[in-house]
Amino acid sequence: MKEIHELIIPEDLLFAEDHEWARQENDKVRVGISDYAQDQLGDIVYVEFPEPGQIFSKNEPFGSIESVKAVSELYMPIGGEILEINKALDDYPDLINKSPNDQGWLILVKPTDKSEIKSLMKKNAYMEMLKGLEV
């Protein structure tokens, strides 16, 4: 397991308390899980995705992620319509472990309420939250 200072937490990502990240890309939002989350899960072996076109509310489960350790729910950091899923993860779920902030993204969303993104944590706030989780 990585120490908090070893995690790769880009400045352009915003974070939910459940460790999903969101990156604003014009009028869309790309979503993935944080380096911390993938590190805690261990080797990712499968991702269950929603269908494009489905609409979810903020904090609603939209799928699950399975690792050698556990199966975990994935939650929407913001509400919106699923525009695209990362199909590469069907064959290469380990991309989440190798590149959680880029190639290992999960879904692309069209937000229903763009102001919800303001409720997510910036890097420093997320790091402070993680420090509070240390045992």
| Domains in the chain, number | 1
17-74 pLDDT, tens digit per residue, is 999 999 999 999 999 999 999 999 999 999 999 999 999 999 999 999 999 999 999 9
| 104, part of any domain | yes
**1/125: higher pLDDT:** 125
- CATH code, 31: 2.40.50.100
What pLDDT is recorded for position 135? 53
HEC string for 14-27: EECCCCEEEEEECC
Residue 110, C-beta contacts closer than 8 angstroms, at least 6 positions apart: 27, 28, 29, 80, 81, 83
| 33, part of any domain | yes
pLDDT at 113 over 90: yes
| 123, part of any domain | yes
In which domain, by residue range, is 13 found? 4-128
Within 10 Å of residue 2's Cβ, how many Cβ atoms?
12
| 134, part of any domain | no
The predicted model scores a pTM of 0.96
For 71-87, what is the mean pLDDT? 98
| 58, part of any domain | yes
| 135, part of any domain | no
**Residues 43, 66: Cα–Cα separation, whole Å:** 9
Q: What is the mean pLDDT of the chain?
A: 96
| 15, part of any domain | yes
* DSSP state, residue 122: P
| 133, part of any domain | no
